[in-house]
Amino acid sequence: MALDEALLENAATLGQPVLRFYDWTEPCATFGYSQKIAQIEAATKLRPLIRRCTGGGLVPHNGDWTYSLIFPPNHEWAVLAATESYLRTHKLLQAAFKEIGVETELADSCRRPKPGECFEGHELHDLLWNGKKIAGAAQRRNRHGLLIQGSVQPTGDWAQTIWQDFLSQDSPQLENMPDVRA
């Protein structure tokens, strides 16, 4: 996640959007920059705990599909309202899932989770599968651009097969994106 922050700080120099996928070397959890570490430590047994530079709640990382989108300050996404860039991100994920035969829906309202726990409830425009949140994201905007960090929490029989297939081949949709590997 430190690389995401570095990419955001250099987004203007990069001059184009960056899409990055990554996974975790061990199970852990991340939490938003405004959350209090003492409250997070009390709320979960997950360790290690890592603070994100974006907002949002507590996100478990243990087999999830983690991604980041970084936009330079002059890109159309960087000037959108936060709700609009959040909606666009989840519409793209929804279209990708539809392409592989997995029907999802965008949450049309909020269902508040336990305090701080991102995937125990859902926010407006989160991606749902069978009524359960499977994708969420958090954002950070500054003069350098926009960073969106997201997690897809795989569920159901389709999840592992799809992710492994995706990672094992070159994706033509990503051909023009810069390759930034962790």
What mean pLDDT is reported for the chain? 86
- Using one digit for the tens of pLDDT, what is the confidence trace for 103-159? 999 999 877 766 556 667 788 899 999 889 999 999 999 999 999 999 999 876 666
Percent of the chain with pLDDT over 90: 61
Write out the two tokens for 90.
Answer: 């989840």
Domain limits, the chain: 2-170
Cβ atoms of residues 138 and 66 within 8 Å: no
Does position 179 have pLDDT exceeding 50, yes or no?
no
Cβ atoms of residues 147 and 78 within 8 Å: no
Q: Which of 178, 122, 131 is nearest to 155 (CA)?
A: 131
Model pTM greater than 0.75? Answer: yes
- Using one digit for the tens of pLDDT, what is the confidence trace for 84-105? 999 999 999 999 889 888 899 9
Q: Would you state the CATH architecture of domain 2-170?
A: 2-Layer Sandwich (3.30)
Q: Catalytic site residue 118?
A: yes
Question: What is the gyration radius of the CA atoms in the chain, in angstroms?
Answer: 16
Q: Give the side-chain half-sphere CA count within 13 A for 163.
A: 18
